[in-house]
Amino acid sequence: MNDGLIIINKPAGYTSHDIVNIVRKTLHTKKVGHAGTLDPDATGVLVVAVNKATKALQFLTAENKEYIATLKLGTSTDTMDASGAVLETKPFTGYTNLREVLDSFLGDSMQVPPMYSAIKINGKKLYEYAREGKDIKVDPRPIHVNEIRLLKEDNDEITFRVNCSKGTYIRSLCSDIAKKLGYPGHMKTLIRSRSGDFDLSQSCTLEELTEGQYQMIALKDAFASMEHYVLQDESIALNGKRIHENYDHNIAVFNKKGDILAIYGPDGTGKMKSLRGLF
């Protein structure tokens, strides 16, 4: 039985759940999940876990992600992307301060999420309020932009790469960039080029998946960047017992043979507790 991760290059027009269902049917297993939703119109890296690897999904949702986005100036939409209804238009006459505007988004800032998003307020998703035409106050949320780099300028279209924290909405970022440039705007296209340790070079298309031309990343390799801890007595992890070590971060616990056993985290008393068994 296959256990591990498959990195899918999600095409436009599919939800992340659609991809999960396709993997289930292709690999004939119900135990499939994904780490980090991609909007239907977006393409790129979707990390899919199969069988035992689904136990690790909570630790595979990357803190940092990289996107390549194209911003269209002159037209805003209610969804902040190309699928929405037009709200405002303004003729494009150029700009002079693009690099300064992009750089102004570096570091920590507060961002208002799009109304057409799955964030819940009072138990209801924002897009449900939006579809009902209800005006809901959405509080800004902290985000962090590590890098933002201009890739291409083509009249009223700007393509840039951004490396940012989990929870950053690129649609909102595009809208905010447009406003600083003096225009309404929307996100025309979006590619997720990286999610944590996984990038497009490791991905397969849906066609390659169905033809069996894909790479299954073993669970132990999925945690290559997390600090490793080797137990001489693997029964400690198998029985969920605490480890007498004092790390201030999560660690991947292995046995002497190199098999991953569990993810451990600090328990607040100077020891490490099992957060999830992966055997």
Could you give the residue numbers annotated as active site?
Answer: 39
Pairwise CA distance, residues 14 & 46, whole Å: 11
Helices (H), 61-125: 98-103
Strand residue runs (E) in the chain? 4-10, 32-35, 43-50, 64-73, 75-77, 86-89, 107-111, 120-121, 124-125, 141-154, 157-165, 185-195, 198-199, 228-230, 251-254, 260-266, 272-277
Tokens 């890296």 found at: 45
- Alpha helices, DSSP H, located in the chain: 16-27, 57-60, 98-103, 126-131, 170-181, 206-210, 219-222, 235-238
Cα 197 from Cα 223, distance rounded (Å): 9
44: β partners:
10, 192
Q: Is 104 in a helix, a strand, or coil?
A: coil
